[in-house]
Amino acid sequence: MTHAAPRHLRTLFALAVAALLAACQSMPAPKGFNAAQIAVLKEEGFIPAPAATDDSWQLTMADRLLFATNESAIQPEQTERLGKLAQRLIAVGIPSARVEGHTDSTGAPDYNQKLSEARAQAVAAPLTAGGMQFAPGQIIGRGETMPLSPNDTPEGRQDNRRVVIIVTP
């Protein structure tokens, strides 16, 4: 013989279950990168983007990928490294990035704008070959507008001839 629970207990139980389900549904989505993604980003040399408000991380290619004046080509070993970087990022669920090319202030601003776009494209190409996908507006030339260092020394100009890869969760 089965005994039914009193009606007020069944109602209380149903309300508790409904409240728990509502709490689960109202939980915000996780913010930022997960631990595995952060580990890969750190291993690859990414750092949290300075002054970012969106949890983005950046890889400044200045130390690894420097451009000569008026150049946008990358070396074969850099192409290989970028392809492997793309594969590692995709493996942890980071399928895309923003690629920003920069120049020093040598030359005319319109020329530098085109050169910075060519540098961004040169870095994005092996990332794409490695499996990453880019939407319009994710491969950007910044020209000479965002220098890291003063352009009045050869070292400063070299710092400014760079590409930055930015990932955002």
Per-residue pLDDT tens over the stretch 111-148: 999 999 999 999 999 999 999 999 999 999 999 999 98
Q: Which of 15-24, 31-40, 119-128 has the highest mean pLDDT?
A: 119-128
Per-residue pLDDT tens over the stretch 74-108: 988 899 999 999 999 999 999 999 999 999 999 99
Number of domains in the chain: 1
Residue 22 lies inside a defined structural domain of this protein: no
How far is residue 76's CA from residue 73's CA, in Å, rounded to a whole number? 10
Domain with 63 in it: 30-167
CATH number for the domain that contains residue 62: 3.30.1330.60
| 3 state SS of 158 | helix
Distances (CA, A) of 169 to 43, 60, 94, 130: 17, 18, 8, 19
Distances (CA, A) of 56 to 94, 112, 136, 167: 12, 26, 19, 6
Query: What's the whole-model pTM score?
Result: 0.79
Residue 117 lies inside a defined structural domain of this protein: yes
Residue 7 lies inside a defined structural domain of this protein: no
Residue 14 lies inside a defined structural domain of this protein: no
Residue 25 lies inside a defined structural domain of this protein: no
Residue 11 lies inside a defined structural domain of this protein: no
